[in-house]
């Protein structure tokens, strides 16, 4: 399920938070759950004996390492992806690259250059949108929407196109899909509970949240949503199995950029406090300003916080 090797409750420096699966993928990479949604979308009757092979690609070039899942189902390539933010108008191009790489992985160079005609799975692309932008229950986005216009040409013929169906699964829109796909409906209930708790907690802050504070608020909101869903028998089986991983599934892996920003912010706050203390001790506003500038320069150069604190302590002694 994950690459977690330490205690999931351990927030220490050795904690490994690089989960490959977000909550959406973790739920719908289960063949039975994926099959139920696919049957509704394609009006098929895939059963438990239907051949299925997961072929999800995880490069960030595609849909990202968390929120997409794809299967080959009875010679059909079916791709699901979730969007909690605005659906990018460039997503058809990303899907084009996705499907090309999926096909490429299935054939050798000899196959591609051979005289025998190859057969490839028929592709189907679906986006599940649960952001806050107003969108219709069902919409389509096409690769041809991205083509440059040809002045004076009406109804041009395209040699290539790709169509994506976008489903708005917000509960407030009462989409038909949620009435027919119970697990998807329960997942959306979890997401909306988490978002509600997150907004409520954020209102308790008097100033805009820092990136670190946003992370802490989201973690608390996920925990509250998990407890509420268990209380209301929503996604019970999944949450009982993965309760300790849900925070990392929903908040995502902490990237190098995130850690750098967290560290710089904390280091700047510590440095400012130390500089103030130094300035008061010496009674020199100029010294405080110069000391702060020197500290910030060290932070930008990547000097570790422990070394900065030692330098400040030594400077204060003299």
Q: Tens digit of pLDDT per residue, the chain (318 long)?
A: 333 333 333 333 333 333 457 899 999 999 999 999 999 999 999 999 999 999 988 655 544 436 889 999 999 999 999 988 778 889 999 999 999 999 998 999 999 999 999 999 999 999 999 988 888 999 999 999 999 887 777 777 788 999 999 999 999 887 789 999 999 999 999 999 999 999 999 888 877 888 778 888 888 999 999 999 999 999 999 999 987 788 878 875 544 454 455 455 556 656 666 666 665 555 555 555 566 667 666 666 666 666 766 776 666 555
Contact 291, 315 (CB under 8 A): yes
CA-CA distance, 312 to 318, in Å (whole number)? 10
Cβ atoms < 10 Å from Cβ of 46: 20
H helix or E strand, kind and range, residue 69: strand 68-73
Token duo for residue 291: 């000391």
**What tokens appear for 39 in the block?**
């049957």
> Which tokens is 237 given?
């089986």
pLDDT of residue 293: 65
Provide the residue ranges of all domains of the chain, joining segments of one domain with +.
Answer: 23-147+157-254, 260-317
The predicted structure's pLDDT at residue 144: 92
CA gap 9, 230 in Å, rounded: 19
CA distance 32 to 29: 9
Q: What does the pLDDT read at residue 246?
A: 85
Crossing angle of helices 211-231 and 256-282, in 10° steps, is: 120
- For residues 277 and 315, is the Cβ–Cβ distance under 8 A? no
Measured CA angle at 248 (ends 54, 31), to 5 deg: 20
3-state SS track over 137-204? CEEEEEHHHHCCCCCCCCCCCCCCCCEEEEEECCHHHCCHHHHHCHHHHHHHHHHHHHHHHHHHHHCC
């Amino acid at each position: 399920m994950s690459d977690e090797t330490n205690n999931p409750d351990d927030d220490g420096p050795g904690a490994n938070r690089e989960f490959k699966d977000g909550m959406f993928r973790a739920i719908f990479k289960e063949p039975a759950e994926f099959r139920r949604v696919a049957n509704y979308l394609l009006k098929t009757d895939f059963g438990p004996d239907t051949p299925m092979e997961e072929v999800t690609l995880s490069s960030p070039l595609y849909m990202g390492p968390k929120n997409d899942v794809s299967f080959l189902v009875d010679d059909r390539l079916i791709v699901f992806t979730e969007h909690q933010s605005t659906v990018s108008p460039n997503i058809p191009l990303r899907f084009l690259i996705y499907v090309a790489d999926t096909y490429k992985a299935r054939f050798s160079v000899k196959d591609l250059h051979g005289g025998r005609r190859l057969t490839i799975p028929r592709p189907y692309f679906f986006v599940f949108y649960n952001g806050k932008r107003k969108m219709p229950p069902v919409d389509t986005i096409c690769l041809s929407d991205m083509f440059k216009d040809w002045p004076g040409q009406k109804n041009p013929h395209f040699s290539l196109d790709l169509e994506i169906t976008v489903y708005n699964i917000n509960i407030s829109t009462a989409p038909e899909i949620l009435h027919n796909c119970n697990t998807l409906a329960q997942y959306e209930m979890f997401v909306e509970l988490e978002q509600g708790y997150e907004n409520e907690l954020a209102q308790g802050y008097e100033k805009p949240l820092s990136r670190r504070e946003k992370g802490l608020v989201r973690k608390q909101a996920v925990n509250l949503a998990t407890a509420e869903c268990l209380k209301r028998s929503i996604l019970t089986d999944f949450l009982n199995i993965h309760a300790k991983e849900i925070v990392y599934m929903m908040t995502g892996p902490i990237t190098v950029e995130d850690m750098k920003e967290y560290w710089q912010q904390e280091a700047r706050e510590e440095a400012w406090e130390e500089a103030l203390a130094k300035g008061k001790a010496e009674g020199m506003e100029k010294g405080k300003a110069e000391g702060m500038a020197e500290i910030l320069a060290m932070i930008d150069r990547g000097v570790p916080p422990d070394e900065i604190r030692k330098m400040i302590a030594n400077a204060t002694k003299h």
